[in-house]
Chain A
């Protein structure tokens, strides 16, 4: 070792690459560091437990009405939060309604994300005329405000759980479609996709091996927001007079039923379902925001 130089390049002498924690672990790290996201997870867990485990511990009559027990105020014996205008126990009603709201929200949000993602990926990957045509269709669908479209559709169709899911998904898919299309447009020009084409790889490989895995973060983040929005839509539909007929209930329909009694001072009919909606929608938003941070941190590296 008397020369200043290594005769050849120096394999292995370069600093050992730093091992980085796995994606899941890193996500968890960022997530636990984000207090809002953590709040969201805890909130959601509590609401899920309330809606699904609640009825096991707190059994109430939620099928048959009992008008003699209508509009009892909170604190009445056996009814912690009073009763509704049809005599259902409020707490038990909130549990049952929560199941409906959560299920419709989750199903519609997932459906919208799935369809929107495929639509957007196709539009963005093919580009050109296909893209222009597909995007004008989304523009037109977006131009008619969702609420107006929903009301017209509601006037035509009688709702059931499945119908509500379909209707909400039908207006909600537009935003993931535009988002994923944008991602696909930029991803297909990335150098690693070019490198793959140079090796002789085709479109299917580009989409499934490179574009989709790299867009998945955006899709997951957007999906949580979609679920939140879908739950909001359920409540708006109820407000506009479109909800699954009793004895079924969701938080939205409970809230809009309560509006009728604003003048009577029956606050327990209004605030519990209203707050439940706010909490669940906020929880999903907190989680989505935390996830976005997590994915961005990883990609920034």
Chain B
């Protein structure tokens, strides 16, 4: 397994390097270049020129990239000129909250999707399978913000059981303390994922049911329920780890939309507000951090997969 892990780790490093290049390129695509991005719209031409010289932005691109990397390693992502705070500090505060939202809704989605997919597979071709498949597609086809809107109208306006706005705590603990406020954002985001996961579970269980080891299990005298739980479910669930890794970017995208819908104080909202106000240091800083989080996250799920699947665990 070490060979696999080392290889995967090196791959992740290469990808991180490429991510930093993409963000660097974006930085240079900005109108007025990085100087405008960092000084903001109020910077005069003289200030810009001086800044460019000071920061080395008049040197060759490779040198600039090198300097950019060096700043990254010291945690210098620039300052937000709307919030008057270093981007690094802002991210340190917001990232955990976004992770909380993502983890809670993913967990909820898995808890709903696994039995749902299993049910669909067992009822394959029956009316309930068709109904659930149709429903899953409809859910998948619904933009998350439309879903959120429906949630708000239903559960905050028509039947006011949950607040339409997320809690505004400073820390993760405070957020958890105000649990009713978390319900709508978490459920909205989970629903968006349920469709994908239940679809996967259905086909994974169906695939596994045609495997010969299922027939062997039957020949031992096991009930279908036991075969499903003891044999099929395990084999269908293991690849779900990789699927989670693959869907990380989608999850973060979903978080961006949900956070701005419910005014949830995470990274997505920070990003959205920055976009409204052309706060480029924040935009690029968040983009970079989300990219890094995705790379590390998918590395983690791949390791998890390797640990769970004996075929990878014990070979090479």
Contacts and interface: CB of A to CB of B under 8 A. Distances in A.
Interface stretch (B61-69, B89-97, B111-119, B287-295): B287-295
A211 interface: no
Contact of A262 (B22, B140, B152, B249): B152
A252 B145 CA distance: 10
B133 interface: yes
Interface size class of B (residues with CB under 8 A): 35 or more
Q: Which of B152, B248, B252 counts the most A-chain CB atoms under 10 A from its CB?
A: B252
A155 B141 contact: no
Given A156-B30, A274-B146, A137 B18 contact: yes
Interface of A is mostly: helix
Interface in B123-172: 130, 133-134, 137-138, 140-143, 145-146, 149-150, 152-153, 157
Nearest to A285: B137
Given A139-B15, A259-B145, A145 B138 contact: no
5 contacts: A137-B18, A141-B22, A144-B294, A155-B280, A286-B137
Given A145-B294, A146-B249, A259-B145, A151 B275 contact: yes
A286 B134 CA distance: 8
Contacts of A149: 287
A4 B140 CA distance: 65
A199 to B, nearest CB: 36
Interface in A150-167: 151-156
Given A36-B134, A141-B22, 6 more contacts: A145-B294, A146-B249, A151-B256, A151-B271, A241-B276, A281-B141
B15 A136 contact: yes
A277 B146 contact: yes
Contacts of A228: 141
Contacts of B298: 143
The 7 A-B pairs at the shortest CB distance, nearest first, are namely A140-B18, A281-B141, A147-B253, A282-B141, A145-B249, A145-B252, A145-B253
Interface in B63-78: none
Interface string B20-44: 0111001001110000000000000
A93 B257 CA distance: 25
Interface string A216-235: 00000000000010001001
B14 interface: yes
A240 interface: yes
